[in-house]
């Protein structure tokens, strides 16, 4: 999508283009083993991901509005400049900054609600990739109804003592820290008795059990707490008011799950793949059935980008509530990517069923991996079924879904 942000952003756009040209072909010496869903140019510039992260921050292409004392660039907040950076990086196939639960979710939460000590201690090393975080929310009996969580936190002699279990905890086996919801007020109502704690993952009493999912990777984990003891100051917000903190984090999570520029990039990869795959010697892209599927998908991607601009516009205009629009973005974005990856598998025919190691595997198996990955994101950040209920009730004013009575 060719956007004109106005003459005042022309020079900035040129600056970003020049940066992308300078670092065209940058790749990493510590690349992830997970199949990538985006194809980046590979050239002579090789460095660690953490080095790339620092270059982006120093040039103001990441963490633009985060104060320098917390490891950011220290500039003014400008949503349009952030959008220009994302679009130009996507066009040039320049690797984006590192993300993750710490960077995308915890850092903005701490900037909003953390103490000065917490900001100084955690934000900079998190931005620079020195601390990896995981999220301790879901439990075996508390998923969509998260407020029913039972992991217990007791304040004993100035320290929190935690007992309980979390499940579906992404990256727990690699993380140094966890932001976690625990019940600290057992006699309060379920939403009022929760606190938001920061837990070092090397604390005695923590046991991590990886869960191998259908991608054949341990994408999730169970985490058990037995008398895990942390300092009293490791609480974000006030005691018993962690639900409000968690909602702030959840808002940032939904915004980080879908990227319209990455989706358009992936669509272009699909088009290129359709030009290469053949049926009876004829290109897939020339097949009228598959061409029709591609055109419908392309229309959805363009509409998705347009909705992201609506969210951007609402953020620029004070007084507009973007919560429902952001939920729509998460709902549509995750389902759209899942559909897109599915078409990528479909056009390969029987080769699309291959996975892991095979000389005939296309694009490193990224289509198969990402298809399964986005099925998980449809559930993550609040399931899309729950999202639809909230959008219909709060956004469209439809009646609330009736609750099923026990024993009926």
Specify burial of residue 208 (Cβ count, 10 A radius: 0-12, 13-18, 19+): middle
Q: For 69, phi and psi rounded to 5 degrees?
A: -65, -15
The domain segmentation of the chain, as residue ranges, is 7-98, 131-242, 257-395
Q: Which range is most confident: 89-103, 167-181, 389-403?
A: 167-181
Q: What DSSP state is assigned to residue 193?
A: S
Q: What is the pLDDT of residue 285?
A: 96
Model pLDDT for residues 92-101, shown as the tens digit of each residue: 888 889 888 9
Q: How confident is the model at residue 1 (pLDDT cuts 50, 70, 90)?
A: very low
- Greater pLDDT, 257 or 367: 367
DSSP 68-119: GGGTS------HHHHHHHHHHHHHHT------SHIIIIIHHHHHHH--HHHH
- Lowest-confidence range among 160-174, 306-320, 339-353, 370-384? 306-320
Helix (H) or strand (E) holding 300: helix 288-316
Q: What is the pLDDT of residue 295?
A: 96
Percent share of the chain, pLDDT over 70: 93
pLDDT at 38 over 80: no
Q: What is the pLDDT of residue 254?
A: 62
pLDDT at 105 over 70: yes
Q: What is the pLDDT of residue 386?
A: 83
Residues identified as active-site? 253
Task: With H, G, I as helix, E, B as strand and everything else as coil, classify residue 331.
Answer: helix
- Greater pLDDT, 309 or 129: 129
- Give the tokens for residue 189: 């109502």
On average, the pLDDT of the chain sits at 88
Task: With H, G, I as helix, E, B as strand and everything else as coil, classify residue 396.
Answer: coil
- Give the tokens for residue 143: 């998923």
Q: For 370, phi and psi rounded to 5 degrees?
A: -70, -30
Query: Given CA atoms 309, 311, 316, 317 in this order, what sign does their dihedral have?
Result: positive
pLDDT at 163 over 50: yes
Angle between helical axes of 288-316 and 323-346 (0-180°, round to 10): 160
Q: What is the pLDDT of residue 376?
A: 82
What is the spatial distance between Cα 116 and Cα 122, in angstroms, rounded to a whole number? 10
Q: Domain 257-395 belongs to what topology? A: Butyryl-CoA Dehydrogenase, subunit A; domain 3 (1.20.140)
Average pLDDT estimate for 76-92: 86
Residue listed under structure tokens 């598998």: 345
Model pLDDT for residues 196-247, shown as the tens digit of each residue: 999 999 999 999 999 988 878 888 899 999 999 999 999 999 999 999 999 8
- Is 155:113 a contact under the CB 8 Å cutoff? no
Q: Between β-strands 27-28 and 133-136, what pairing exists: parallel, antiparallel or unpaired? A: unpaired
Query: What's domain 131-242's architecture?
Result: Beta Barrel (2.40)
What is the spatial distance between Cα 85 and Cα 298, in angstroms, rounded to a whole number? 23
Q: Does this chain's domain 131-242 share its CATH topology with 257-395?
A: no
What is the spatial distance between Cα 54 and Cα 72, in angstroms, rounded to a whole number? 9
Average pLDDT estimate for 78-101: 86
């Amino acid at each position: 999508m060719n956007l004109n942000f106005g003459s005042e952003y022309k020079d900035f756009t040129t600056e970003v283009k020049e940066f992308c040209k300078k670092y065209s072909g940058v790749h990493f010496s510590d690349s992830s083993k997970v199949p990538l869903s985006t194809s980046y140019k590979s050239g002579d510039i090789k460095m660690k991901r953490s080095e790339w992260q620092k270059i982006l921050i120093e040039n103001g292409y990441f963490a633009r509005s985060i104060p320098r004392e917390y490891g950011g660039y220290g500039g003014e907040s400008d949503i349009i400049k952030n959008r220009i950076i994302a679009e130009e990086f996507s066009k040039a196939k320049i690797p984006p900054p590192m993300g993750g639960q710490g960077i995308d979710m915890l850092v903005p939460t701490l900037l909003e609600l953390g103490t000065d000590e917490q900001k100084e201690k955690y934000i900079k090393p998190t931005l620079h990739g020195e601390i990896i975080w995981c999220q301790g929310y879901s439990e075996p009996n508390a998923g969509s109804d998260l407020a029913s969580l039972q992991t217990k936190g007791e304040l004993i002699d100035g320290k929190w003592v935690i007992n309980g279990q979390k499940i579906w905890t992404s990256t727990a086996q690699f993380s140094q820290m966890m932001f976690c919801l625990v019940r600290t007020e057992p006699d309060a109502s379920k939403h009022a008795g929760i606190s938001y704690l920061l837990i070092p993952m090397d604390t005695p009493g923590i046991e991590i059990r990886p869960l191998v999912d259908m991608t054949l990777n341990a994408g999730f984990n169970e985490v058990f707490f037995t008398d895990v003891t942390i300092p009293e100051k490791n609480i974000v917000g006030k005691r018993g008011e962690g639900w409000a903190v968690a909602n702030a984090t959840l808002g940032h999570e939904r915004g980080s799950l879908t990227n319209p520029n990455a989706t358009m990039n992936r669509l272009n990869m699909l088009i290129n793949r359709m030009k290469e795959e053949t049926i009876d010697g004829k290109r897939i892209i020339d097949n009228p059935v598959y061409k029709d599927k591609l055109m419908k998908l392309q229309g959805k991607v363009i509409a998705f980008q347009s909705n992201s601009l609506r969210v951007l516009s609402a953020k620029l205009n004070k007084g507009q509530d973007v919560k429902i629009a952001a939920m729509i973005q998460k709902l549509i974005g995750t389902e759209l990517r899942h559909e897109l990856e599915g078409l990528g598998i479909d056009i390969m025919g029987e080769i699309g069923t291959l996975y892991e190691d095979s000389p005939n595997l296309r694009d490193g198996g990224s289509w198969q991996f990402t298809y399964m990955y986005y099925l998980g994101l449809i559930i993550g950040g609040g399931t899309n079924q729950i999202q639809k209920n909230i959008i219909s009730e709060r956004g469209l004013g439809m009646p609330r879904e009736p609750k099923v009575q026990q024993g009926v």
